[in-house]
Structure 1
Amino acid sequence: MQERTGVTRFKNNPVTLLGSELKVGDQAPDFQVVDSALNPVTLADFKGKTKIFCCVPSLDTPVCDSETRRFNQEAAQLSADIVILTISLDLPFAQKRWCAAAGIERVTVLSDYQEHSFGSAYGVVIKELKLLSRAIFIVNAADKLTYIQHVPEITNEPDYAAVLATVKQEIPTKEIPGDGVCGGY
């Protein structure tokens, strides 16, 4: 498996990322993760939608909690043609419990705990910690990568303004209701 250094740090210490190095314009790699009911979820499940993949180490940490809540709020202003997916290695049961407590209704939370399929395909598995790094990938309706943000320090939040500006250029915003389901699926 490919190893990359110099991309991100954890508490100011360099870490090694495992998996493919992706670039804007690449075809988005397929993956298989699971939802809160342990059902398999793949890239094809969001065909025709613009996808914002938010990779986080663990929802049970303050920064991941804050990030996911922020994207849940921002989702209200986005088109129904845009889905926000938060992916971590947390167990689906813990994710479901966290989502219920946090009131997450507009972000789909998925777990990569079984095979690290997403983490390996998108190059965000931290070798030293066995967690996903903090990164954002925007994949358009044609499944091409249009934006990649590896947060330089994993304990910091992503650049929300850059993510939202990019996705709003692709699809105009509008108010959409939440479906009330964490894990969305």
Structure 2
Amino acid sequence: MILKEFYNEKKSAIETEFSTNAPTVQLYSDAVFKTAIEAPLVMFKYDSISWETSSEKNYKADVSFCLYIVLPIGSASSTSYEEVFEMAHRLDKAVLSATSNNAFIDTNSTFKVKEKQYNNEEVYWNKNDHFIWEITYKTTLIENILKKKYILFNNGLSNEALEELGYDLTSGIIGINPNQVEGNIELDTTR
């Protein structure tokens, strides 16, 4: 889910950055290269994802992802391919911006690793049918929805008594269960 949320966030940021004449943004697919395109296209591809799970059951992913700017075929002397530099600059602004409106994901700084003109080495595409610019980024994603979420059994105590015991009832708790649990609760926390 974290990967889908991150993709949708970046897709939205790219579409907002371009506002007018926004390129189509989609997940990477080789099918694009089997047909002619009429307008610029941006494809998003996860390059590598390394998962780490902590004892708190947080999910953290070190992620490398690429954006491919695919331009329609121009003439052999076409200067229209130079627009890729302006598009790459605007993509950087969208992808590297620190603003995140997604409460479920913490994104540690995203940074650009490299960019280059992509050369087709695949035999099932016609060579040079598309002008492709590749930009590679890295980031770390942490899924917040799994962090510090629990149901509190209050054992008949009031919310005030729970707060006196140090419970923060406004964050992390997804429900309070009023059912009694067998045994006694020790309220003296000074021992």
Structure whose alpha-carbon radius of gyration is higher: 2
Under TM normalisation by the shorter chain, which class is it? under 0.3
Name the structure where strand makes up a greater proportion of residues: 2
- TM-score of the superposed pair, with normalisation by structure 2: 0.26
- TM-score of the superposed pair, with normalisation by structure 1: 0.26
Q: Which has the higher contact order (CA 8 A, sep 6+)?
A: 1
